[in-house]
Structure 1
């Protein structure tokens, strides 16, 4: 809920000749309050009134509710929800795929050159895939198999090479940003 109040905190009440007379005027949405404010400002000095949130959009609470613009959209959050939402530490970087252990690997210069060429600048990823392929079977997860399915589907739908290349690049990015479980959840929650 939103209300209009004077810049010094004065409460605006209804003067209508009905049951709302003397009660503070409430607006269900920020947009409704914004429209009312614009109407009042046609006859009153600018900045004499302001929009105030009275109820948290998230929990319905009323403790120190503030209006916060999220992606240019006004949201009303109480103090508890603001603390909970904005102080949670989110993991930074690529999600963990397992336990990290340091390994020393001795190879000839020729083998290192081959490895670096195949790894395309990411030795860890390349060696991880080599181990997974050595351990794996057909039913286990494979980024390359997933890309193969996507490319086959895109070709069947008539995508041109540029679009397929964009799709593959974005999928490679998403492999690093999402775990297999997160990707599975995105699919199962989708309409497709």
Structure 2
């Protein structure tokens, strides 16, 4: 498994923060810097978020063990700060994973919407227009063969209705194509964030 650019930068950041944590006196709290590395992978996969969060918590614990191994006497505030940092990393990891899940649901919803819109466009442009074309063809036939005045009157009404239906369907089709283009524009704007 290879790391992408963001993951590589975050991994290097975790290593740098760990080194800073080791060389800095234990009274100084640098644990919050681990959170920056977690925030960098905020939009990555859930597995990546959990992996980096686990790594950060492990490095915080490891820095405590190194301090204890070196014989440093750690006061209660150091333990509390480290515990709070681990807790904060867990919360950020949960929020990032939840954000990732919601983003995926949003993308799935957009795909479903686009598919439904495509289906509606197909029905409008092919299945609904076919009967209208048939009506218009029949009107032309009646126009050529009609002699009676009542037949002529029916013909005029049928032609007007068919033409109106044809116009409405064309407008609906244009409206739905525009809605689809707007949806793609919104999706592109959302993914650009």
Give the alignment's TM-score, normalised by structure 1: 0.27
Bigger share in helix? 2
| Larger RCO, structure (CA 8 Å, separation 6 or more) | 2
Q: Which of the pair is proportionally richer in strand? A: 1
